[in-house]
Chains A and B, each alone.
Chain A
Amino acid sequence: MAISINGQDYPLPEDPRTSLLDFIRRDARLPGTKKGCDHGQCGACTVLVGGVRINSCLSLAVTHDGDEVTTIEGLGTLAAPSAMQSAFVAHDGFQCGYCTPGQICSATAMLQELAAGWPSDATADLEAAPNLTDDEIRERMSGNLCRCGAYANILAAIRDVAGESA
């Protein structure tokens, strides 16, 4: 009975009310994942479960027995940041930094969704593979609020990592 976070096992919490988010932040002592609303409205708590992004505040920890969770700390470190993390620094894709771990987790998974051909509201042709247009990126990143208003730079950072232009 454990959740694997960034490759390390943590026993499930005793209190079934514990959200995956609080479990990560408190029980696993990984406060890089942020709590902005606790209601699935802001994306600050985005983590990857089995490689897929979710809002960890909307999920109870006890439902994740055996799951592989990746948090911002698992994507890269100070000594070895991921390409997405470096691009956020290079493009100033943040200001206060509070939405940032969620943005980066989300962006990392989003590019995989795009590559896998998942459509979005911005996809013109649902039959064809989606293109990496600015609007596709904006649409797919719209679950991650940034009150500092760093969206333009977030887009630039993601573009940089995706290495293509529309």
Chain B
Amino acid sequence: MTVHLKQDAPDERNVLDFTGQSVIGEPLSRPEGLLKVTGTATYAAEYEVDGCCEGVLVTLPVVRGEVTAIDEASVLSMPGVIAVLSDERMTGRPAQGMAGEAPFQPAKDVCYWGQPVALVVAETFEQARDAAKHVAMDWRSEQAPLDPAAVETEESESTRQGDLAHAMAEAAHSVDVVFTTEGHASAAMEPHAALAQWEDGKLTVHASLQMLKFNRAELADSIGLEEEQVRLLSPYVGGGFGSKLGVSQEVVAASLAAMHLGRPVRVVMSRQQVFQTVERRSETHQRIRLAADAEGRLTGFGHEARVSNLPGESFAEPVLQSSHFLYAGENRLLRLEVARIHRMTAGSVRAPGEAVGVQTVEQAMDMLAEKVGIDPVELRLRNIPDKHPANGKPFSSRKLAEALREGATAFGWEPRPRTPRHTREGEWWIGTGMASAARVHSVVEAKARVTLRPGGTALVETDMTDIGTGSYAILGQVAGEMLGLVPDDIEVRLGDTDLPPGSGSGGSVGAASCGSAVFLACQGLRKELAERLGIAPESLTLKDGFARWSGGQKALTELLNQEPIECTGHFEPGASTEDMAVSSFGAFFAEVAVNRWTGETRVRRMTGAFGFGRVLNARTARSQCLGGLTWCIGNALTESLLFDPVDGHLVNCDLAEYHVPVNRDVPDLEVLLLEERDAAASPIQAKGVGELGLCGGAAAIANAIHDACGARVFAYPMTPDRVLAAMPET
């Protein structure tokens, strides 16, 4: 049985509020938690497979060139070496998220420093690693553009409305500022890994990937197989943050090697290779213009950005994504340009677009509040638009004002115009700052199968992944709520392309998309049960393993009568998310201490208030927000990819030099989950939360730095040297 829904209209029934089991939204522990804490959850590289050999990627240290010859004999005599693979089908870049087709081939056509060009396979990892360093190759290399500021750009997106220049000239108050942000790495803790087996014309790959149905298509297309011949397994993924959206180079290389050798092959990237070859968030150069009347009401809004990517890549960091609708202003200019340069592929890193686009707008808003002389929270409240300022669509639901107000109260925000340097503790200036949060909502097609087993338990199956996001927990909770079962009676199987294709994890689409697929499947099961009882589905209550209706009650096991019933839910996005502006919103508040002498910033506490539709599990949702706030700290203060301007290599390609926040960088964090039902967002009224917590928060820190010490820093990350340089004398 299948239940299909293309959601063309908002669903205001809020079915999950009336089902009665009361597990939806509850802060339950992750069902897979014990596996993870005992080291028994198995990640891609950890499967025990007989006869498995080990592959290590060989990379080329030039930004542009071509491998002309690979001398296999140079390493074949080394102990344990089995083969040197330089197949034309090896991929030089990762696939972009949801590409569904082969990424750039052949790998020997080198477009960035450190591109993989070959694979050495040996009996052991140590042998393969050694041999990979000794492969003799001939190549030709050439110069290539490396500096995004020094090349002609291509326009990627442009929207004009009214006359921004005129609005700026007429404005009572205006801000016109340029910000820069540097590149970011996803830096998921599990390095990219694949273990490929080729048997009887079928390829099975354990890999660390986020979006399996797309990845399967990408892998099949890369090596020339039918999708049906490929099975991908990723039940546990050690973080993704965008870097595992598309099939990456080691997956294709391991697959080709396994097919070539007729033996299982494992390829794990080194941490350096992950940094150098997978993908980066583009650096950005952004100009923000704000024009306002005497009360701070926006009359003009301008956001122009330059990002970069390799030639041939369609992805452009969508910096303007939320600028289209976050604030009012009838005169608008939004423009995005792409510079073609030779750094590794630019792609999605957690919250592509907003992670760097909102924090610049939010610093500019802080500057405007200072000019107008009002509380920065009040400035935001005055500029919440009635409808989408560009296309006039209504907002489906929006908790921005509530987030600003409730966040301010929880934080203890003082509603006053800001005057820097009001508090000092020894050599530390103390200040507070705030920012709004916004992240567009989207859903994608997803299927899930739910089986009611004769014993009265349920099985949920989809190829959806759980990359730490809580999919195991929330999908079980949706099913439990719909079927009247306690979560312990529900088994959730994920991460296997033999299961119905879900959405995958990326762009915060997973919970709403796959949750809706599970919801639909359960609706089908409820209908079947109601039919068996001869009642209308609406009259049926399922709770604690019993079916109840006005006329009586019956145990689920009895209704099932020794036979399982199953239903596949098939969710497709429709007009409901097109007819309205659908987005998650929130607000950030931060307190910082800035050292008077060194310019070092320590974040002392943060509060985030977020509205993202229905909360499916308050614990895992909160954890997502905590993760987002943690990323705000790295984004604001430490994270930047640094490229050598001469030879183009990534200088800080490891975790010692690329500084993700560590435990001591993260202070007390407070998260407010604002309950909301967004009927247009999905049939379960949920939106995405995985990225929202990162969309704008760095500006709360930037604004707090200004409030503390008077330094207005226009370059992210705000490292001590930059803060010190911007700090006013005395």
- Give the B-binding residues of A (Cβ under 8 A): 15, 17-18, 22, 25-26, 29-39, 41-42, 44, 71-73, 76-78, 81, 85-86, 88-90, 92, 94-101, 104, 122, 134-135, 137-139, 141-155
Most A C-beta atoms less than 10 A away, residue of B41, B48, B620, B628:
B41
A sample of 18 inter-chain contacts (CB < 8 A) reads A39-B654, A72-B38, A72-B39, A77-B38, A89-B30, A92-B30, A92-B33, A94-B33, A94-B37, A95-B239, A95-B468, A139-B664, A142-B665, A147-B241, A148-B627, A151-B666, A152-B630, A152-B668
- Whether B191 lies near A96 (C-beta < 8 A) is no
Give the complex CA separation of A147 and B639 in angstroms: 12
* CB 8 Å contact bits of B655-688 with A (1 = contact, 0 = none): 1100011111110110000000000000000000
Nearest 4 interchain pairs by C-beta: A32-B39, A98-B238, A149-B630, A96-B468
- Whether B188 lies near A147 (C-beta < 8 A) is yes
B29 interface hit (Cβ, 8 Å): yes
Most A C-beta atoms less than 10 A away, residue of B37, B666, B668:
B37
Residue from A39, A85, A92, A145 in contact with B662 in the complex, judged by beta carbons closer than 8 Å: A145
- Whether A147 lies near B239 (C-beta < 8 A) is yes
B42 interface hit (Cβ, 8 Å): yes
- Whether B187 lies near A104 (C-beta < 8 A) is no
- Whether B239 lies near A100 (C-beta < 8 A) is no
Residue from B130, B189, B655 in contact with A96 in the complex, judged by beta carbons closer than 8 Å: B189
B226 interface hit (Cβ, 8 Å): no
B626 interface hit (Cβ, 8 Å): yes
Q: A92-B33, A97-B238, A147-B239 are in contact. List 4 more A-B contacts (CB 8 A).
A: A22-B126, A92-B620, A95-B627, A147-B186
- Whether A22 lies near B239 (C-beta < 8 A) is no
Residues of A within 8 A of B188 (CB): 96, 98, 147
Give the complex CA separation of A104 and B36 in angstroms: 11
Most B C-beta atoms less than 10 A away, residue of A134, A138, A144:
A138
Chain B residue nearest in CB terms to A22: B125
- Give the A-binding residues of B (Cβ under 8 A): 29-30, 32-43, 45-46, 48, 124-127, 130, 186-191, 236-241, 268, 270-271, 467-470, 619-620, 622-624, 626-631, 654-656, 660-666, 668-669
Residues of A within 8 A of B45 (CB): 31
Chain B at the A interface: mostly helix, strand, loop or mixed? loop
Give the complex CA separation of A152 and B603 in angstroms: 14
Give the complex CA separation of A142 and B668 in angstroms: 15
Residue from A38, A122, A142 in contact with B271 in the complex, judged by beta carbons closer than 8 Å: A38
Residues of B within 8 A of A101 (CB): 37, 39
Q: Chain B nearest CB: distance from A120 CB in Å?
A: 10
- Whether A30 lies near B39 (C-beta < 8 A) is yes
- Whether A25 lies near B46 (C-beta < 8 A) is yes
Residues of A within 8 A of B622 (CB): 92
Residue from B29, B42, B469, B664 in contact with A89 in the complex, judged by beta carbons closer than 8 Å: B29
Residues of A within 8 A of B35 (CB): 78, 97
Give the complex CA separation of A35 and B270 in angstroms: 10
- Whether A149 lies near B661 (C-beta < 8 A) is yes
- Whether A95 lies near B469 (C-beta < 8 A) is yes
Give the complex CA separation of A104 and B661 in angstroms: 19
- Whether B125 lies near A41 (C-beta < 8 A) is no
Give the complex CA separation of A85 and B33 in angstroms: 9
- Whether A149 lies near B271 (C-beta < 8 A) is no
Give the complex CA separation of A37 and B470 in angstroms: 25
- Whether A147 lies near B189 (C-beta < 8 A) is yes
Give the complex CA separation of A152 and B665 in angstroms: 11
Residue from B30, B189, B467 in contact with A145 in the complex, judged by beta carbons closer than 8 Å: B189
Chain B residue nearest in CB terms to A33: B39
Give the complex CA separation of A116 and B67 in angstroms: 57
Task: Please judge, given known A-B contacts A98-B239, A149-B631, whether A32 and B655 are in contact too, CB under 8 Å.
Answer: no
Residue from A18, A34, A78 in contact with B38 in the complex, judged by beta carbons closer than 8 Å: A78
- Whether B39 lies near A153 (C-beta < 8 A) is no
Q: Chain B nearest CB: distance from A21 CB in Å?
A: 11
Give the complex CA separation of A37 and B395 in angstroms: 44
Chain A residue nearest in CB terms to B469: A95
Chain B residue nearest in CB terms to A85: B37
Give the complex CA separation of A104 and B468 in angstroms: 17
- Whether A97 lies near B626 (C-beta < 8 A) is no
Chain A residue nearest in CB terms to B80: A15
Residues of A within 8 A of B124 (CB): 15
- Whether B654 lies near A37 (C-beta < 8 A) is yes
Q: Chain A nearest CB: distance from B589 CB in Å?
A: 16
Task: Please judge, given known A-B contacts A17-B126, A152-B666, A154-B663, whether A35 and B629 are in contact too, CB under 8 Å.
Answer: no
Q: Chain A nearest CB: distance from B588 CB in Å?
A: 14
Give the complex CA separation of A156 and B241 in angstroms: 24
Give the complex CA separation of A143 and B663 in angstroms: 8
Residues of B within 8 A of A90 (CB): 29
Give the complex CA separation of A150 and B626 in angstroms: 7
Most A C-beta atoms less than 10 A away, residue of B34, B38, B468:
B38
Task: Please judge, given known A-B contacts A98-B238, A141-B663, whether A92 and B623 are in contact too, CB under 8 Å.
Answer: yes
Residues of B within 8 A of A37 (CB): 191, 271, 654-655
Residues of B within 8 A of A138 (CB): 663-664, 666
Chain B residue nearest in CB terms to A146: B189
Residues of A within 8 A of B656 (CB): 39, 41
- Whether B48 lies near A29 (C-beta < 8 A) is yes
- Whether B189 lies near A36 (C-beta < 8 A) is yes
Residues of B within 8 A of A32 (CB): 38-40
Residues of B within 8 A of A96 (CB): 188-190, 236-240, 467-468
Task: Please judge, given known A-B contacts A37-B654, A138-B666, whether A97 and B271 are in contact too, CB under 8 Å.
Answer: no
Q: Chain A nearest CB: distance from B689 CB in Å?
A: 12
Give the complex CA separation of A92 and B666 in angstroms: 16
Residues of B within 8 A of A142 (CB): 662-665
Residues of B within 8 A of A73 (CB): 38-40
Give the complex CA separation of A76 and B626 in angstroms: 27
Give the complex CA separation of A29 and B628 in angstroms: 35
Chain A residue nearest in CB terms to B657: A41
Residues of B within 8 A of A141 (CB): 663-664
Q: Chain A nearest CB: distance from B162 CB in Å?
A: 40
- Whether B36 lies near A94 (C-beta < 8 A) is yes
Give the complex CA separation of A98 and B41 in angstroms: 9
- Whether B271 lies near A36 (C-beta < 8 A) is yes
Residues of A within 8 A of B130 (CB): 17
Chain A residue nearest in CB terms to B271: A37
Q: Chain A nearest CB: distance from B677 CB in Å?
A: 25
Give the complex CA separation of A149 and B627 in angstroms: 4
- Whether A100 lies near B620 (C-beta < 8 A) is no
- Whether B29 lies near A92 (C-beta < 8 A) is yes
- Whether A97 lies near B41 (C-beta < 8 A) is yes
Give the complex CA separation of A143 and B656 in angstroms: 11
Residues of A within 8 A of B662 (CB): 142-143, 145, 151
Q: Chain B nearest CB: distance from A103 CB in Å?
A: 9
Residues of B within 8 A of A139 (CB): 663-664
Most B C-beta atoms less than 10 A away, residue of A22, A34, A41, A147:
A147
Give the complex CA separation of A107 and B660 in angstroms: 20
Q: Chain B nearest CB: distance from A121 CB in Å?
A: 8
